[in-house]
């Protein structure tokens, strides 16, 4: 008799990952700041983003990390 491992539906399915990616304009609207300010935050490295070809996007996690950094270290 050969033993086979017990397989449950959770182990056979891949976990679905959902990531939202916002445009610079959407992030500006969410934060109630100007588009130029969002680009300045990206340029200085305070707000991380990704590039898809020539398009700039900010993921929901990157936006959450930026907001958390403001809570930890408020600007002067």
Name the helix (H) or strand (E) containing 50.
Answer: strand 50-52
Q: How far is CA 74 from the centre of its chain?
A: 21
Assess contact for 22 and 57: CB atoms under 8 A.
yes
Q: Is the pTM of this model over 0.75?
A: no
Tens-binned pLDDT, residue by residue, of the chain (76 aa): 455 555 555 555 677 878 899 999 999 999 999 999 999 999 999 999 999 999 999 999 999 999 999 988 776 6
Q: Which helix (H) or strand (E) holds 57?
A: strand 55-59
């Amino acid at each position: 008799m050969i033993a086979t491992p017990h397989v449950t539906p959770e182990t056979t399915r891949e976990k679905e990952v959902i990531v939202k990616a916002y445009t610079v304009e959407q992030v500006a609207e969410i934060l109630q700041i100007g588009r130029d300010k969002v680009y300045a935050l990206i340029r200085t490295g305070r707000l991380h983003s990704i590039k898809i070809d020539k398009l700039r996007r900010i993921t929901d996690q990157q936006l959450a990390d930026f907001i958390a950094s403001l809570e930890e270290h408020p600007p002067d």
